[in-house]
């Protein structure tokens, strides 16, 4: 816990308190996994060619199988080829990230993985968050892979509340991602 009274949406406060947001990555890290539906939605909204905001990561067949095994919402993603589509970075952040403002895409246009983050369904079917808790903002800042909501909340319900969502909404979004993943893999 931070000890301070939270002021404003958690994602807007994250870069100020932790030094970076989940839209900013270190060298060699990748951003959100995209489905073809994500790409089409973003293209329709921005009128940009996919090459302006999509990177391709070629995996081995073993890496692709492990990716799907760890992330059940992505089962079938690599059915056509072991190529992962991700958001492109520019200057260490997502091409759609505006410093001090966050994502410039409307919520309904954003990749489903971005809308679902930091929540993840595990192979056993349970839901949790993708990162651990440091319990101290300076340690979280030093660790570099923290989520401010996870640091500020004292329970999963608290994390959900900070993101302004519910378990039911997260599960429904997970079903959307699973559906888009299936269509992505079928081509």
Q: What is the pLDDT of residue 1?
A: 40
CB 144 within 8 A of CB 20: yes
Q: Where are the domains of the chain?
A: 12-186
Cα–Cα distance for residue pair 156/49, rounded to 1 Å? 38
pTM of the model: 0.88
Pairing of strands 119-121, 102-103: unpaired
Tell me which residue of 23, 179, 149, 18 sits closest to 86, measured CA to CA: 23
Average pLDDT of the chain to the nearest whole number: 90
Cα–Cα distance for residue pair 78/64, rounded to 1 Å? 6
Taking CA atoms, 162 is separated from 8, 39, 155, 158, 167, in Å, by: 10, 28, 11, 6, 12
Q: What's the pLDDT tens digit per position in 123-178? A: 999 999 988 889 888 898 888 788 899 999 989 999 999 999 999 999 999 999 99
Phi, psi values for residue 127, rounded to 5°: -110, 145
**Percentage of the chain exceeding pLDDT 70:** 96
Tell me which residue of 117, 104, 107 sits closest to 31, measured CA to CA: 117
């Amino acid at each position: 816990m931070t000890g301070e009274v939270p002021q404003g949406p958690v994602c807007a406060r994250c870069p100020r308190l932790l030094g970076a947001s989940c839209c900013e990555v270190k060298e060699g890290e990748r951003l959100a996994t995209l489905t073809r539906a994500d790409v089409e939605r973003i293209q329709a909204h921005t009128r940009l060619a996919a090459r302006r905001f999509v990177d391709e990561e070629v995996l081995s067949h073993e890496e692709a199988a492990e990716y799907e095994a760890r992330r059940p919402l992505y089962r079938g993603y690599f059915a056509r080829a072991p190529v992962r589509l991700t958001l492109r970075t520019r200057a260490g952040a997502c091409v759609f990230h505006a410093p001090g403002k966050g994502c410039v895409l409307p919520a309904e246009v954003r990749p489903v993985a971005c809308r679902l983050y930091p929540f993840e369904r595990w192979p056993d079917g349970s839901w949790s968050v993708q990162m651990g808790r440091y319990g101290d903002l300076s340690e979280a800042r030093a660790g570099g892979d923290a989520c401010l909501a996870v640091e500020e909340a004292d329970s999963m319900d608290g994390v959900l509340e900070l993101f302004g969502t519910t378990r039911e909404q997260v599960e429904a979004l997970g079903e959307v991602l699973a559906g888009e993943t299936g269509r992505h893999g079928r081509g």
